[in-house]
Structure 1
């Protein structure tokens, strides 16, 4: 009788386009069972760091010295998160097979003659400080193979949420929103902004980094003309595979549109931005009648107003968070990068052709040894 392969421990570190925090998980991956989260950690990014990241990402700008300093600083932040996870769980570094660090995206441009996706967060520094092999730069190989480099999570969503008789989709409401259609032929794509515009407007008018529970949006009224203008963004009409980021949906673009609507109340603008996010989701799912269940994750899963808007437009769907399937929605993305690190360590090629458009299966990520 052959003994089963032992369970392995991996750490996943994630900072998304919302730029609000570094989320980390320490997870156990049995050979033939679902992963189990052992410890979690969320480390907020302070306002100064968020402002610097915003400065770096303004269209047409780019300070190389600032980028390198943030690369170093974020590397320390990711390492701190990993070390705090180990301390909380009382797990020694040598017990962890690898860390999967997504980094912080500051540029994502998968189209054109020189496609790329750039994440900051020095993985070599993370490896040296933690003493654990660190996998990073998950997107470049997919782009080299002709893919969008995003979204990468649908393959993970299929692995952990796809084993059910009812046809499921997963909606990640991070800074950007993306959907995963689970099943034998898993597919997925970015559908438009998730929280990024909502957070921007909440910061301006509430002095808060986000609209808690969507309460600000719930006091406003959707302006049909502004919603129609938002929906004219070229990304919304593009067919998948497609991915997006702050290059498409940013303060400059939004302010340019709002210049044509000078008399709208701020709460009405917030309500319209929430409806814009909801419509992007609906456009992706309305043509998928076989989907019965929608599992929501990411920061937007805590926005009750946004979920109500989506549910009103998709009344036939059974909508809930990924907690129904055993994973808290806050930790799904970090767990995905622990899973992706596991695929890299085991040299497992992923076929993402129906997701990113890559021409061939590829092994994602580069390994940095301590």
Structure 2
């Protein structure tokens, strides 16, 4: 249960915040120290320690099997929180910043199941915020999704509100694309409500496939995909999934797009005739096309800025640019924000907003009946 105690500490300009993000790729824990300034949030220091391999495999098993004992769930919840706290403490030490200088930590937690559309919608994250607060000595804000869901929203994606706060600019339309395990887009327009949603797989299927056939965690520089060719038959089959045609609001995750899903699609077209590299290349094309199609269908003008691990995939970035000839595609370095830490900074910002008791303007994104104050405060 949430340990919500009021009044929460009140932030002021110049304070430091920490954001923690671990996405669907399960490649590590992104931790960032950010400082509030009058112009926004400035990244001060960051790190991305890998998850302990045994813990990563346990979480992956939970997500893939969708079954877990209560003992295992409790222990993994505890272990993940300890890994987060250790990463925070190490970053503070390396940065010569002490815990007393930090106003709050914003922790997303690791999503193990996201089910926004059933009769009883829910989204489940692990990473006990009590432990994070106790082990760091810093108030921790967590459980950001469920209040939005309590008001009928999907609880995801959350980052469009931060994208609007940090990246919107008068006189300019912009598209922010986050390519983590799942890809999502945020449409920033002067004359339209904020809109953002999950387009489908980002890196997740590519990472899962190369891990299966090459025992590699990801396809560095798309070296494996470059040896393959796009299978139009497989691509058409993948694109036929109903999710891609759903209107916004919509959100998804590993419970939908996973290797079991991919194997089923391969079975439908006798995918045994395809090389492993061809499948890898086609999965990359799936991500590029589903992202680009949604941007084109939105009629959103302006430049496109990419963040997340996908920003480091040169072939994926090239394909998105090729599919969007009327747009200029860059990563968020062009906006002075490291693309690898945009999401972590977003949770530092969300922590600040919670301490300010500020509602997060997400109802146009998630479909909630109203904007809400998101997150619970766990005091150290």
Please indicate the TM-score interval, normalised by the length of the shorter structure.
Answer: over 0.9
Residues 78-87 or 316-325, more deviating: 78-87
SS for the counterpart of 1:244 is coil
Show the counterpart of 1:29.
36
Query: What residue number does 1:355 align with?
Result: 365
Runs of 4+ in structure 1 over 4 Å off: none
Aligned match of 1:183: 189
- The one of 284, 290, 295 aligned to 1:285: 295
1:242 is matched with: 250
Q: Which of 171, 192, 196 is the equivalent residue of 2:177?
A: 171
Contact conserved, 1:59 with 1:247, CA < 8 A, in 2?
A: no
Summarize the alignment of residues 1-370 of structure 1 with structure 2, pairs less than 5 Å apart: 6-30=13-37, 32-184=38-190, 185-259=193-267, 260-370=270-380
User: Is there any run of 5+ residues in structure 2 with no aligned partner, and where?
Assistant: 1-10
321-330 vs 231-240, which moves further: 231-240
Deviation at 1:311, TM superposition (A): 1.3
Deviation at 1:60, TM superposition (A): 4.6
Q: Which moved more, 1:108-117 or 1:52-61?
A: 52-61
Contact 1:56 1:63 in 2 (8 A): no
Segment of structure 1 superposing worse, 189-198 or 259-268: 259-268
Q: TM-score, normalised by structure 2?
A: 0.94
Unaligned runs of 5+ in 1: none
Post-superposition Cα deviations, 1:214-267, rounded to whole Å, max 9, x if no partner, equal 111111110111001111112111110000001110111111222231110000
Q: Residues 19-70 of structure 1, C-alpha deviation per residue, up to 9 Å, x if partnerless?
A: 000000011102x322111111111114322221121112552332211111
SS in 1 for 2:318: helix
- For residues 95 and 373 of structure 2, what CA distance do their matches in structure 1 show? 30
Q: Distance in 2 between matches of 1:226 and 1:208?
A: 23
Deviations 1:193-212 (A, max 9, x none): 00000001111222210000
Q: Secondary structure at the match of 1:354?
A: helix
Q: Which moved more, 1:314-323 or 1:62-71?
A: 62-71
Cα gap change, 1:319/1:44 in structure 2, threshold over 3 Å: closer, same or farther?
A: same
Q: Is the 8 A contact 2:187 2:300 kept in 1?
A: no
Structure 2 residue matching 1:54: 3-state secondary structure = helix
TM-score normalised over the length of structure 1: 0.96
- Name the stretch that deviates more: 164-173 or 194-203: 164-173
Tell me, in whole angstroms, the C-alpha distance in 2 between the residues paired with 1:209 and 1:46.
Answer: 14
Cα deviation 1:266-293 (Å, max 9, x = unaligned): 0000011011111110221112334220
For 1:299 and 1:178, locate their aligned partners in 2 and report how far apart those are by CA, in whole Å.
13
